[in-house]
A and B are shown apart, each in its own frame.
Chain A
Amino acid sequence: DAMVIQNPRYQVTQFGKPVTLSCSQTLNHNVMYWYQQKSSQAPKLLFHYYDKDFNNEADTPDNFQSRRPNTSFCFLDIRSPGLGDAAMYLCATSRRGRSRSPTDTQYFGPGTRLTVL
C-alpha cells in the first residue's frame, strides 16, 4: 500500500545532542512537510519541500533543519534539542498540481514522538 512512513516511532535524545528523524513515502508526491505537534495542540508547520525547493516558516527556530535527498525521503534535523522540543513530529506529503484541488490534500505519517532528557 502507498503510504508515508516515519522512523523511528519513538526517539529519545539528550539535551543538546543532535537528532535526525526520517520520513519516506511511496506516494510519489512532490511536496513533503514537517509538523511539530505538542500535547493537546494543533500541528504546527515547520517547513516543507516543493520538489527540491525548501520553504521555511517564518517562526521556525534555526535549530530545526531539513534535507530532502530525493523524492521519497525527507529528514528533520534538530541540531541542539532543548526540553521544549519534546513533541510529536509529523511528516506529510501532497501532490501539488497546477490548479487548486483537493488532491493537494496532505497525507500524514504516524509520527515520531521525541523525548528530550
Chain B
Amino acid sequence: GEDVEQSLFLSVREGDSSVINCTYTDSSSTYLYWYKQEPGAGLQLLTYIFSNMDMKQDQRLTVLLNKKDKHLSLRIADTQTGDSAIYFCAERKSASKIIFGSGTRLSIRP
C-alpha cells in the first residue's frame, strides 16, 4: 500500500531531545520530507533528505534515514515550547505526488 506510518503522540520535557519516527513503504522514493503544522496553519517544510543519504543535519534538526528498513527519524535537539506542533513525515512518489503520514503531535512539558 501507500502507507506512511507515524506514532500519533510524543511528549518531551523542555530542553530534552525529541525523536519522531516514521516508516514508509516505497523503497524507490527519491525524497523524504518532514513538515511541521502549527495550530490553524498550513504545512511548513522543515527539511528533506535524498534517498542516497543516511543523515542530514540542519541546526537543531537531524534526519536519519535507514533505507534498508524504510525508517526515517527526525531529532529535534534542545526542544522548545515553540516546537509544539504536528510533524508529518512524507515520501515522494512522483513529481506531483507526496504521501503523508498521519502526523505526530509533539507536546512539550515544562
- Whether both chains belong to one complex is answered with yes
- Chain A interface (Cβ < 8 Å from any Cβ of B): 4, 6, 9, 31, 33, 40-43, 45, 48, 50, 55, 90, 92, 94, 96, 100, 102, 104-111
Complex contact B100–A102 (CB within 8 A): no
Residue of A nearest to B30 (CB): A100
Check: B64 CB closer than 8 A to any chain A CB.
Answer: no
Complex contact A110–B95 (CB within 8 A): no
Complex contact B42–A90 (CB within 8 A): yes
Residue of B nearest to A113 (CB): B40
Q: How far is the CA of A48 from the CA of B41 in the complex (A)?
A: 21
Give the contact stretch, choosing among B11-19, B44-52, B68-76, B77-85: B44-52
Complex contact A110–B41 (CB within 8 A): yes
CB distance from B38 to the nearest CB of A (A): 10
CB distance from A99 to the nearest CB of B (A): 9
- Chain B interface (Cβ < 8 Å from any Cβ of A): 4, 8, 30-31, 33, 35, 40-45, 48, 50, 88, 92, 95-103
Q: How far is the CA of A114 from the CA of B35 in the complex (A)?
A: 22
Looking at chain B's contact residues, the main secondary structure is strand
23 contacts between A and B (CB under 8 A): A4-B42, A6-B42, A41-B102, A42-B88, A42-B99, A42-B100, A42-B103, A43-B43, A50-B96, A90-B43, A94-B96, A96-B95, A96-B96, A100-B30, A100-B31, A102-B48, A104-B95, A105-B31, A105-B48, A108-B43, A108-B44, A109-B42, A110-B40
Q: Please name all residues of chain A whose beta carbon is closer than 8 Å to the beta carbon of B88 when the two chains form the complex.
A: 42-43
Of the candidates A48, A100, A102, the one having the most CB atoms from chain B within 10 angstroms of its own CB is: A102
Complex contact B96–A55 (CB within 8 A): yes
The 9 residue pairs across chains A and B that have the minimum distance between CB atoms: A108-B42, A42-B100, A108-B43, A110-B42, A42-B102, A109-B42, A111-B42, A43-B100, A110-B41
CB distance from A53 to the nearest CB of B (A): 10
CB distance from A37 to the nearest CB of B (A): 9
Q: How far is the CA of A33 from the CA of B78 in the complex (A)?
A: 35
Q: How far is the CA of A42 from the CA of B45 in the complex (A)?
A: 15
Q: Please name all residues of chain B whose beta carbon is closer than 8 Å to the beta carbon of A111 when the two chains form the complex.
A: 40-42
| Apart from A42-B88, A106-B98, 19 more pairs, CB < 8 Å | A4-B42, A41-B102, A42-B4, A42-B101, A42-B103, A43-B88, A45-B97, A45-B98, A50-B96, A55-B96, A90-B42, A96-B95, A100-B95, A102-B48, A102-B50, A104-B96, A105-B45, A110-B41, A111-B41
